[in-house]
Amino acid sequence: MDVLTCIKRVPDTGSKIVLTEDRQSIDASNLGFTMSPHEECAIEAAVQLVEAHGGTARVLTLGPPAADEQLRTGLAMTADEATLLETDGAEWGPRATANAIADAVRAAEEEFDLLLFGNESADAANYQVGIRVAERLGLPVVAGIKSLEVEDGTAIAGREVSGGEEIYEVDLPAVVTVKEGINEPRYASMRAKMSARRQEVDRREPDAESGPGTFEKLRLEAPSDEDSAAEVLGEGPEAVPRIIEVLEEEVEVV
Amino acid sequence: MILGFVEWEAGEPLETSLQMLTLARDVADQTGTSLAAVAFGEEGAAVADHLGEYGVERVHHVADDRLTPYAPAAWGQALADLLEDHRPEAVLAPGTDRCQEVLAHVGATCDLPMAADCTAVEAGDAYEVTRHRWGGSLVEHARLEASTKLLSTAVHEVPIEPADVPTDPTVHTVEPTVDAEDLRVQVDRREESDVEGVPLGEARVVVGGGRGVGGPEDFDQLEELADLLDGALGSSRAAVNEGWRPHDDQIGLTGTKITPDIYIACGISGAVQHWVGCKGADTVLAINTDPEAAIMQKGEYAVVGDLHEIVPELNEALREREG
Ligand SMILES: Cc1cc2nc3c(=O)[nH]c(=O)nc-3n(C[C@H](O)[C@H](O)[C@H](O)COP(=O)(O)OP(=O)(O)OC[C@H]3O[C@@H](n4cnc5c(N)ncnc54)[C@H](O)[C@@H]3O)c2cc1C
């Protein structure tokens, strides 16, 4: 089976988010980049399915030339092919992104059996790209999935709900958006990383087409850490009586 | 009209839906229009009895058996029908898994933009919305303009407020135009989980451990502390990645969001992706060797020191009290 996994390059923010002067984006000059854990799990699900059923796993991202790095992470996790829908680095909204991905899927030589996405991106978190791609392609879509199997052309997908799991059965081709926890993504071996570096990445220029209405970012704001001054109860085990006091008198849990 | 998508359980609206209705009523007031709600399923009409308190004037009840159990695209189609018939100014939905999903279907089928996880709206011709990015560690101000604006509300961000003037909502039955294609995805069955104890997301006390715990065995001390406090055990992503804890324990952006009375974070640095999962705690108490760690600044209480010395002592003291 042929599986396409769509990922997004995002800054690897640490303990504090710093914005650029124009407040349009995160100041990433001192940061590395990564992809969301949801998407890492989506790649893992894809390569596991291909290992079990044969076929190819392709990773795709819409992003700046540097997003090549995240595609190579996918290749090092043993995906077979990679596609970069190359932008100039400006942020694309969820609708334009979904339209460009759907059009790339239509134009591809492969007929994908399964399209995988993260449930939401780590940064913008619009919760809609996978669903919009599915609707545009006329495919069924199951979102927020934490277990996935494929049997005889049917995807069996589980979504976590309070107290258990809801199970969906969907005929392929289909779109599934996944959440971290669905599997444990592999660590790429040194050798896999080396060979991923030499692999060809298919580069294309996407069309920005959005449709009626607008949803556009005006500015970002990093909420100031609320009164960031914790009360220090003490050092080492000597603080235990003070901890008990807090548990007893303030929080009233003992 | 402003339309709010209300979820319910046992005939009562969920808290997240009431939070959404509070924001929806604010938008209706700002635009001088009425507030309506839509509810799916058998008891959807009974839910109307609880919505007058929040100023809802009409309840659209989608009572089609084919839409039970949950079928996301079909529910989206039912909402799209309401959009076509009533042309609401805006549709608001709580930012739960289901509502987020259904709203995205509406956005796709009606080719409308959608703003997820909003916390405030300034309504003019276009709406200026305030919304969450990075799970709330970053706030975005965005402009949303469309014939019908689609917005979801970030959960547990808008405090629930009843209307000044309660209403007596009328109930209207909706017969949606769903077809076989809309029903390709539908819940087939439910499997119960066999995890025992208090679920992390509902616990009043949570004890969390991170990379500073140092290994899987050392989580025993934290588990004991959680037990002594009738709480649940959680962890950072680093501890999950190390293979010390299962992902079910993970607190944060891509894990569980907790809302306990107290969260005791041990050996956790407090990265933004962890913090967004635990900031819903009333009180955060951090135990960390590094007084400069972010979690030691962001929380209410900090204890500087080695968790391996402090936690066993704390357990001992709690056991003694129980006697
Ligand atoms: C897109 C994305 C999503 C993410 N989602 C999540 C998520 O959902 N949840 C999450 O937790 N993380 C998430 N992360 C990872 C996050 O950025 C951090 O890497 C992670 O939270 C760090 O875990 P930690 O605090 O346990 O480890 P560290 O950052 O390594 O901190 C360990 C802490 O332990 C302290 N320590 C060490 N020894 C001791 C001792 N003996 N006693 C007391 N203290 C000690 C140290 O001082 C340090 O502060 C995500 C990252 C990305 C990029």
Q: What does the pLDDT look like over B4-26, one tens digit per residue?
A: 999 999 999 999 999 999 999 99
Could you tell me which of A157, A159, A176, A183 has the C-alpha nearest to residue A77?
A183
Cα B271 to ligand 1 centroid, rounded to whole Å: 6
Q: Does one domain contain both B136 and B17? A: yes
Amino acid at B174: V
pLDDT at B261 over 70: yes
**A-chain residue closest to B118, CA distance:** A126
| Interface test mutation site (partner A, options B117, B253, B254, max chain A beta carbons within 10 A) | B254
Task: Indicate which CATH number applies to the domain containing B166.
Answer: 3.40.50.620
In the beta sheet, which residues pair with residue B61?
B39, B173
Kindly report the nearest CA distance between residue B54 and chain A, in angstroms: 26
pLDDT at B170 over 60: yes
CB atoms B114 and A128 under 8 Å: yes
Question: Has residue B317 been placed in a domain?
Answer: yes
Question: What is the model's pLDDT at position B45?
Answer: 86
Name every chain B residue with its beta carbon within 8 A of the beta carbon of A15.
Answer: 269-272, 293-294
Element of type H or E holding A81? strand A81-86
CB atoms B300 and A166 under 8 Å: no
pLDDT, mean over chain B? 96
Last-in-domain residue among B151, B183, B215: B183
Question: Has residue B133 been placed in a domain?
Answer: yes
Could you tell me which of B276, B278, B253 has the C-alpha nearest to residue B263?
B278
Range of the domain at B159: 2-183
Average pLDDT over residues B141-168: 97
Reported confidence tier of residue A31, pLDDT bands at 50, 70, 90: very high
Average pLDDT over residues B82-96: 98
Q: Does one domain contain both B107 and B132? A: yes
Question: What is the model's pLDDT at position A226?
Answer: 56
Last-in-domain residue among B183, B215, B247: B183
pTM: 0.95
**Among B236, B240, B309, which residue has the most ligand 1 atoms within 8 Å of its CB, making it the best to mutate?**
B236
Q: How many structural domains comprise chain B?
A: 2
Q: Does one domain contain both B112 and B216? A: no
Q: Does one domain contain both B38 and B165? A: yes
Q: Does one domain contain both B83 and B18? A: yes
pLDDT at B59 over 70: yes
Question: What is the model's pLDDT at position A225?
Answer: 59
Average pLDDT over residues A132-161: 97
Sign of CA dihedral B234, B236, B241, B247: positive
pLDDT at A112 over 90: yes
Instruction: Give me the domains of chain A, ranges plus CATH numbers.
Output: 2-204 (3.40.50.620)
Cα B294 to ligand 1 centroid, rounded to whole Å: 10
Average pLDDT over residues A209-215: 91
pLDDT at B226 over 90: yes
CB distance B267 to B211 below 8 Å = yes
Task: Indicate which CATH number applies to the domain containing B229.
Answer: 3.40.50.1220
Spatial distance between the Cα atoms of B217 and B215, rounded to a whole number of angstroms: 6
So what's the ipTM on this one?
A: 0.96
Cα A165 to ligand 1 centroid, rounded to whole Å: 28
Average pLDDT over residues B140-169: 97
Q: Does one domain contain both B148 and B14? A: yes
Question: Has residue B309 been placed in a domain?
Answer: yes
**% residues pLDDT > 70 (chain B):** 100
Reported confidence tier of residue B259, pLDDT bands at 50, 70, 90: very high
Q: Does one domain contain both B156 and B216? A: no
Question: Has residue B266 been placed in a domain?
Answer: yes
Average pLDDT over residues B42-64: 95
Per residue in B61-80, pLDDT tens? 999 999 999 999 999 999 99
Closest partner residue to B272 (CB to CB) among A15, A144, A230 is: A15
What backbone torsions phi and psi does residue A229 show, to the nearest 5 degrees? -150, 90
Question: What is the model's pLDDT at position A162?
Answer: 84
Last-in-domain residue among B183, B215, B238: B183
Question: Has residue B23 been placed in a domain?
Answer: yes
Q: Does one domain contain both B243 and B160? A: no
**B-chain residue closest to A136, CA distance:** B108
Q: Does one domain contain both B14 and B105? A: yes
Question: What is the model's pLDDT at position B193?
Answer: 83
Q: Does one domain contain both B89 and B139? A: yes
Spatial distance between the Cα atoms of B64 and B109, rounded to a whole number of angstroms: 20
Q: Does one domain contain both B218 and B306? A: yes
Q: Does one domain contain both B227 and B298? A: yes
B254 lines ligand 1 (CB under 6 A): yes
Question: Has residue B193 been placed in a domain?
Answer: no
Check residue B135 and report its DSSP letter: G
**Among B137, B138, B206, B211, which residue has the most ligand 1 atoms within 8 Å of its CB, making it the best to mutate?**
B211
pLDDT at B323 over 80: no
